[in-house]
Structure 1
Amino acid sequence: MTIYDRPLDRGALGPLADPDARHSGAASTRAARAVSRPQGGESVRSGSFRPAAFAPLIDRAARAHDIDPLLLHAIARVESRHQPNAVSHAGAHGLMQVIVPTARRFGVGAAQQLRDPETNLDVSARYLKTLQQRFGNDLPLVLAAYNAGEGAVEKYGRKIPPYRETQGYVRKVIAEYDLLRRVSTGHRSATVLSRVAAESDL
């Protein structure tokens, strides 16, 4: 299981074109975009914040795909506030806000299936594992790809794309992950947070 506590030394973002572009790096844009989040002008149907209710399912998905369960919790918190019926205007569904084109890569083809927490978490964990393998367990890049699409990360030289939403998303998830890890282990992932700050123009 990858626990992100190692120092990271990737350099800052270089000169980047189209700083205000949104997800222009993803192949076929919307179709290849990994996850669409319920923020930045999008809305999520109201619901209670219930992280504990999904802890067993999160732990199961994490074990099945060798993902840190605290990372899944952090993403679920930022994506949907642990709301299984959350739906964004961009068509992302469930706890982990997965869109159908991404889910189809893992054999799930219907939006209704993504509203099942167990299915949603399984698809998300499998996708995260794919991203970890592709980007060498580099947490900021994994999260950037989860948000903006793998193509966007590749387009900008395997750095965090210069999209405000994506940069903010990466920082929020890492901060949430850091908080959860501090609560559980007393360890701070300051090196990762510093890396994100260095690669962000915000």
Structure 2
Amino acid sequence: RGIEPPDGFPLTPENIRFVNYVFDYFLKKANPSALGMFDLDRMFSSPGSQDLDLLKKTLGRVERRYLPLMESVLKRHEKEKYRVEPLLFLALMRQESRFDPLSISQVGAAGITQIMPGTGLLLGMTAIFQPPYFKKAREVMLKERTMKARALKLIREPKEFCREEDARKARQFMQEALSWKKKREALYRRYKRELLSHKRDDRLDPEKAIDAGYRLFSELMRGQRGDISLALAAYNAGSRAVKKYNGLPPYPETVTFRNRVLRYYRQYLTKMGWMSADGRPGT
């Protein structure tokens, strides 16, 4: 489940349940010497991986812009049990927002590290834009998902005969889901427009966002015992989803998020000369 080589087989929503099972079984049964032969989704270790001055000389212009902020964040949290490797966290930010501090997702996550309002409050942020209709948008989204799930269940359930009544109900549920979808999209468009209009939100402050995102990811790394893939999945889909599936959730968005972050991480490692193109440690 580690970083795939260029000609390897990436994780997909279709194969992730099988991979979770095999990976979990291997961790439980393999002896220490066998476990030591694989990276097992652990962070890359290099003497220069925490040297931000070295990173500044090698990385691109966009990444270099945020290294000073990362440096202050790393100093504040240098005693954390899981000090996240800077290149890994840069890869996370690249996937989350393309380093855009004003990025806002379709569900209200905001900033360079894409923090949700509720998560921001839990992380100690005080200025969070959370109007009354934001909660309504969440409720509308859940109704949309419920109707869609009901429709798909009727369509996918094996039946000896395809009943016309089931097809009619499935169509009705899907139409209701589309109706809720339009309402949900309208509410989140309004939220994005108003948030960008007044900008009084800690998540749009790059330094505060990087600090909060780093603390969150560091805590997730600790909770997942240093497993990058599981920590990334928890960052994207929540720790409950990781626990529910005993591994990466089979959500297309989450699997894609994990794959791309690790791809960017590998690109950075390769650029620094710490990993070869075939995924082996560099010289």
TM over 0.5: yes
Code of the aligned partner of 2:248: I
**What TM-score do you get using the length of structure 2 for normalisation?**
0.49
Unpaired segments ≥5 residues, structure 1: 6-10, 15-48, 192-202
RMSD: 2.4
Which position in structure 2 is the counterpart of 1:13? 20
Q: How far apart are 1:171 and its partner, in Å? A: 0.4
Task: Measure the CA separation in 1 of the matches of 2:252 and 2:106.
Answer: 18
Task: Figure out how many residues of one structure are paired with residues of the other and give that number.
Answer: 149
Answer whether contact 1:62 1:68 (CA < 8 A) is retained.
Answer: no
Give the Cα–Cα distance (whole angstroms) in 1 for the partners of residues 92 and 249 of structure 2. Answer: 19
**TM-score calculated relative to the size of structure 1:** 0.67
Distance in 2, Cα, partners of 1:53 & 1:129: 22
Larger proportion of helix: 2
> Which residue, 263, 268, 275 being the options, matches 1:175?
263
How high is the sequence identity, in percent, across the aligned residues? 30
In the alignment, the residues of structure 2 paired with residue 144 and residue 63 of structure 1 have an alpha-carbon distance, to the nearest angstrom, of 26
Residue aligning to 1:153? 242
Match of 1:45 in 2: none
Counterpart CA distance in 1 for 2:88 and 2:225 is 16
Taking the aligned partners of 1:123 and 1:114, their CA distance within structure 2 comes to: 8
Q: Read off the aligned partner of 1:121 and give its amino acid letter.
A: I
* 8 A contact 1:100–1:108 mirrored in 2: no
Aligned amino acid, residue 105 of structure 1: L
Structure index of larger Rg: 2
* SS, match of residue 160 in structure 1: coil
Where do 1:125-140 residues align within 5 Å? 125-140=214-229
- Cα distance in 1 between the residues matched to 2:273 and 2:62: 22
CA distance, structure 2, for counterparts of residue 120 and residue 56 of structure 1:
14
Letter in 2 for 1:149: G
Q: Unaligned stretches of 5+ in structure 2?
A: 4-17, 22-60, 78-82, 130-200
What one-letter code is carried by the residue in structure 2 that aligns with 1:90? Answer: V
Which structure 2 residues correspond to residues 74-85 of structure 1 after superposition, within 5 A? Answer: 74-85=91-102
